[in-house]
């Protein structure tokens, strides 16, 4: 039961991060390999605000979201959009955006290392809470609840609002969306920025119960990518379920076999997905 | 040339995409030295049929066989080696290769294989054959649309296929190019090649095809000589609207 | 006649490069070993990733397998260095084959992601096996080999990679690779088994990386999985190859030499800036010299001819 609860709570935070990446890859069609660094930046902001000003990470969320939105928007407009324009083929864009976002990722790690080379350790809501016959740290529970709230709001917005519909339309087919009068450029930039903001929020939340450091972003990028692929690109429901599965399996492997094997577990899942369901858990595309 | 034995057999071919049935229980035969047209309104399943025969898509049920080899579960490169070559609806030239290399690409890995000088000589002959003799040294980016189509045709012919699939090869040509294109395919027919021609251009169908299959909503609605099928009331109805 | 002249020139150049340890030792020889190592790694990387556009980040994993197998073979199983050096490349090639079969039929993004964490994942797995089953005594690679011997072995590997690349460029398989790099669907329809071609070539990349890792192992004396399974190495190889350009066989070499020297300076004098330099190098390549130094030279030459 311990494993199930803490696995689900961890999965909740992963789901939020994967949602951010999904917006970027599914809508703007840029595989953002600097996604994990945006997460860590969110975590660094939460840490810094808490240590320097005693600001609760829950308040930092409100500041981080717009900053990450603007930062991601600028990153798309200044660095990635030119690549989209220049690419002659989709394959070319894929390679260019992979290399460029790697560059951005390393650059951000470099910047963060110079800001803070040690672990971002701080203690927030580290009190035990009893839940369904087991004890969890309050920070994990709070983080998962807020992640669920943000994720739920995003889901409703995407499915119930007009701009949300435009975003989904671009995700399905940029060409067709353009034909019905949607400004594909603007929607893509917006989705990319929104994805960045959501990821940074995930970083704030995760930093309350996982000790991060400047270079741990790449692990989160990996996990988010595995979740997005497992859930099916652009499929939010699939991503949530995939995130919960990953959270559960990682927690189970860490507590039953060895904490050093969580990445191995993630890879085992990834491999199974690639071999048996490369179109995602609920995808029905033709192989 | 007089049509020979049946070379390609399509039986009960069906392809579903989720709930949509793109090709529904399609059957026809193609005989050696015959030009077979596959026609029909937009979205009637013609291109899907070509993709099923060439192995780009896998059939949900039914079968395709070439000279007794079952092609149904065969991957595209094996289909090509067994003797089916194709061109693409939107012309696909290999941009970083030279004109000659583009044609050689078809000769090296296809049905009848050549390599080295033999492949170069054979490909050069084919380039001449399709009317690109003076374009061998031109960069591919400088080719006109019809020349790109010609180059793609040379590539498809270079493996000496048993059956050539032309997917709307004439589409997008201007009126003067169109006549050149029709003449070129007609000369292939005169050589006795077996061709499956998916086409929209009615003039081309009348003058090029020995027989036609007409498709509508994934089903075969008529089969016969162009004159027969084009006067068939079902066919006329299909083209004029699904009233 | 010009062929003979060219052959002679290449032979002389190889002899000159081979004679280097007689002239230099200590610091410069160690730099030369590093350059030789990255030349072999980047060139074999480019043979696969250049034409196919699949960005492989697996070099560190295969290199690590080479180094680790030598270390565990010598320390845990009492095998000789030479035996392990002969086995390691085949193990890596088999692993590359399995990874290739699982990932290379899908889009390039999946492949990049899979290889991205591969070195780290294998390191975790290997550490776990080492701690739980083989005992955690240290892994020592003690040989009689000196720096110059390692240099000569790496030179031999580099020459083998070049020879392989040169033969490949003239073979059907090389031609098949160029076609599938241009348009995979066309490649399939002209009769190329694209999956097999990609997997085979990826296996050779894994083979050479593990061979290099095995040969270099004696340089470390004491091997820790953390050191040999280095994700950083994978990125360095990608940067060097792309910086030089992947369209020519000698392209990566032109990236390896300057970048190794730069890297030496940065990691010696500004160790905290290494990550930043990696990032800037990637951005420089993507935005300013997408075809590498060789592409740039080609462009300038074209411009200078009226």
Whether residues C280 and A107 touch (CB distance < 8 A) is answered with: yes
Q: Are residues B69 and B107 in the same domain?
A: no
Residue C113 to residue C17: CA distance in whole angstroms: 37
Q: Counting runs of H as helices and runs of E as strands, what totals does chain A give?
A: 12, 2
User: Smallest Cβ distance to C192: which of B56, B109, B155?
Assistant: B109
User: Smallest Cβ distance to C182: which of B86, B96, B115?
Assistant: B96
Q: Are residues B53 and B129 in the same domain?
A: no
| Span C18-77, pLDDT tens digits | 878 888 778 888 889 999 999 999 999 999 998 888 889 999 999 999 999 998 888 888
A286 at the B interface (CB within 8 A)? yes
What pLDDT score was predicted for residue A154?
Answer: 86
| Interface mutation target, options B77, B141, B153, B157, chain C, most CBs of C under 10 Å | B77
Asked if residue B88 is part of any domain, the answer here is no
Q: What is the DSSP pairing of strand B35-39 with strand B195-198? A: parallel
Strands (E) across chain B are located at 6-17, 20-31, 35-39, 61-66, 69-70, 84-86, 163-167, 195-198, 211-216, 219-224
User: Smallest Cβ distance to B76: which of C175, C183, C188?
Assistant: C188
What pLDDT score was predicted for residue B2?
Answer: 63
Q: Determine the structural domain holding residue B67 and report its residue range.
A: 1-83+162-243
| Span C154-176, pLDDT tens digits | 999 999 999 999 999 899 999 99
Residues 6+ apart with CB under 8 A from A63: A45, A49
User: Helix crossing, A236-256 with A217-231: angle to 10°?
Assistant: 120
Whether residues A274 and C124 touch (CB distance < 8 A) is answered with: no
CATH of the domain at B189: 3.40.50.300
Residue A218 to residue A40: CA distance in whole angstroms: 10
Q: Which chain A residues contact residue B57 at CB under 8 A?
A: 286
Provide the mean pLDDT of chain C. Answer: 87
Strand order in the sheet with B6-17: B20-31, B6-17, B61-66, B69-70
Residue A33 to residue A225: CA distance in whole angstroms: 9
Q: Are residues B33 and B122 in the same domain?
A: no
Give residue B243's pLDDT band: very low, low, confident or very high (50, 70, 90).
Answer: very low
Q: Are residues B206 and B225 in the same domain?
A: yes
Q: Are residues B72 and B39 in the same domain?
A: yes
Q: How far apart are the first and last CA of chain A?
A: 38
Q: Which chain A residues contact residue C121 at CB under 8 A?
A: 263-264, 266-267
Question: Count of domains in chain B?
Answer: 2
Give residue A126's pLDDT band: very low, low, confident or very high (50, 70, 90).
Answer: low
CA distances from A16 to A104, A150, B185 (A): 22, 8, 58
Residue boundaries of the structural domains of chain C: 35-231
Q: Are residues B140 and B42 in the same domain?
A: no
Residue A215 to residue A118: CA distance in whole angstroms: 10
Mean pLDDT of A264-278: 85
Boundary-marking domain end, from B132, B161, B190: B161
Q: Are residues B13 and B128 in the same domain?
A: no
Copy the structure tokens of residue C182: 């241009």
Q: Which residues are paired to B69 by β-bridges? A: B66
Against chain B, the chains showing at least 3 CB pairs within 8 Å are: A, C
Residues 6+ apart with CB under 8 A from B29: B6, B8, B9, B10
Report the range of poorest mean pLDDT among A82-91, A148-157, B76-85. Answer: A82-91
Q: Are residues B238 and B202 in the same domain?
A: yes
Q: Are residues B21 and B131 in the same domain?
A: no
Boundary-marking domain end, from B130, B145, B161: B161
Copy the structure tokens of residue B149: 């189509």
Q: Which chain B residues contact residue A286 at CB under 8 A?
A: 17, 57-58
Q: How many CA atoms lie within 13 A of A119 on its CB side?
A: 9
Mean pLDDT of A19-29: 85
Q: Which chain B residues contact residue C175 at CB under 8 A?
A: 101, 104-105, 108
């Amino acid at each position: 039961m311990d494993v199930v609860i803490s696995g689900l709570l961890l999965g909740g935070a992963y789901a939020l991060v994967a949602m951010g990446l999904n917006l970027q890859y599914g809508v703007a069609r840029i595989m953002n390999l600097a996604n994990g660094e945006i997460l860590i930046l969110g975590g660094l902001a939460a840490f810094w605000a808490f240590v320097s000003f005693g600001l609760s990470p829950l308040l930092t969320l409100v500041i981080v979201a717009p900053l990450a939105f603007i930062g991601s928007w600028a990153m798309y407009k200044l660095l990635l959009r030119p690549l989209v324009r220049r690419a002659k083929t989709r394959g070319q864009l894929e390679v260019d955006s992979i290399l460029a976002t790697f560059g951005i990722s390393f650059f951000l790690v470099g910047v963060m290392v110079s800001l803070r080379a040690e672990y971002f350790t701080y203690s927030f809501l580290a009190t035990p809470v009893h839940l369904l016959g087991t004890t969890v740290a309050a920070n994990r529970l709070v983080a998962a609840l807020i992640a669920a709230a943000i994720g739920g709001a995003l889901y409703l917005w995407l499915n119930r609002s007009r701009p949300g519909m435009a975003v989904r339309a671009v995700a399905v087919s940029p060409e067709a969306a353009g034909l019905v009068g949607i400004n594909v450029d603007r929607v893509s930039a917006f989705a990319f920025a929104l994805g960045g903001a959501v990821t940074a929020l995930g970083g704030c939340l995760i930093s309350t119960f996982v000790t991060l450091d400047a270079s741990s972003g790449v692990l989160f990028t990996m996990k988010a990518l595995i979740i997005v692929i497992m859930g099916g690109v652009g499929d939010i429901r699939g991503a949530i379920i995939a995130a919960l599965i990953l959270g559960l399996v990682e927690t189970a492997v860490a507590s039953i076999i060895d904490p050093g094997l969580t990445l191995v577990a993630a890879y085992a899942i990834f491999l199974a997905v690639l071999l048996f369901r490369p179109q995602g858990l609920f995808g029905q595309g033709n192989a | 040339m007089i049509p020979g034995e049946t070379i390609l057999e399509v039986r009960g071919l069906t392809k579903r995409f989720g709930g949509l049935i793109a090709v529904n229980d399609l059957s026809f035969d193609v005989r050696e030295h015959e030009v077979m047209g596959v026609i029909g309104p937009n979205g009637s399943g013609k291109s899907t049929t070509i993709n099923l025969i060439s192995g780009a898509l896998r059939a949900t049920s039914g079968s395709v066989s070439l000279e007794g080899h079952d092609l149904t579960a065969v991957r595209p490169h094996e289909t090509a080696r067994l003797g089916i070559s194709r061109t693409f609806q939107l012309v696909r030239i290999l941009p970083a290769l030279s004109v000659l290399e583009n044609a050689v690409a078809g000769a090296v890995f296809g049905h009848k294989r050549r390599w080295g000088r033999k492949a170069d000589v054979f490909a050069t002959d084919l380039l001449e054959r399709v009317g690109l003799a003076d374009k061998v040294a031109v960069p591919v980016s400088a080719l006109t649309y019809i020349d790109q189509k010609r180059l793609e045709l040379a590539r498809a012919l270079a493996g000496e296929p048993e059956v050539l699939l032309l997917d709307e090869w004439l589409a997008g040509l201007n009126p003067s190019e169109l006549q050149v294109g029709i003449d070129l395919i007609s000369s292939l027919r005169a050589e006795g090649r077996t061709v499956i021609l998916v086409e929209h251009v009615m003039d081309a169908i009348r003058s090029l095809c020995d027989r036609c299959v007409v498709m509508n909503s994934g089903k075969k609605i008529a089969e016969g000589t162009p004159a027969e099928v084009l006067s068939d009331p079902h066919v006329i109805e299909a083209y004029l609207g699904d009233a | 006649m010009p062929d003979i002249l060219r052959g002679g020139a290449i032979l002389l150049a190889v002899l000159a490069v081979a004679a280097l340890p007689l002239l230099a030792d200590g610091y410069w020889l160690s730099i030369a070993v590093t350059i030789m190592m990255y030349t072999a790694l980047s060139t074999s990387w480019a043979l696969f990733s250049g034409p196919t556009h699949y960005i492989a980040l697996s070099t560190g994993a295969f290199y690590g397998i080479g180094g680790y197998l030598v270390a565990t073979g010598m320390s845990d199983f009492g095998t000789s260095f030479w035996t392990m050096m002969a086995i390691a490349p085949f193990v890596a090639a088999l692993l590359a084959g399995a990874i290739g079969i699982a990932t290379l039929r899908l889009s390039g993004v999946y492949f990049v992601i899979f290889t991205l964490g591969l070195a780290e994942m294998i390191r975790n797995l290997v550490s776990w096996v080492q701690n739980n089953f083989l005992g955690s005594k240290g892994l020592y690679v003690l040989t009689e080999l000196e720096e110059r011997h390692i240099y000569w072995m790496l030179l031999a590997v580099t020459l083998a990679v070049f020879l392989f690349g040169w033969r490949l460029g003239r073979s059907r398989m090389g031609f098949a690779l160029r076609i599938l790099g241009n348009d995979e669907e066309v490649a399939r329809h002209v009769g190329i088994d694209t999956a097999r071609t990609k997997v085979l070539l990826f296996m050779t990349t894994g083979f050479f990386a593990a061979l290099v890792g095995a040969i270099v192992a004696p340089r470390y004396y004491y091997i820790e999985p953390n050191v040999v399974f280095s994700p950083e190495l994978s990125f360095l190889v990608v940067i060097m190859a792309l910086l030089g350009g992947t369209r020519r066989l000698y392209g990566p070499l032109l990236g390896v030499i300057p970048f190794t020297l730069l890297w030496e300076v940065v990691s010696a004098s500004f160790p905290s800036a290494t990550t930043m330099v990696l990032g800037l190098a990637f951005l420089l390549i993507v935005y300013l010299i997408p075809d590498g130094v060789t592409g740039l030279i080609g462009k300038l030459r074209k411009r200078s001819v009226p």
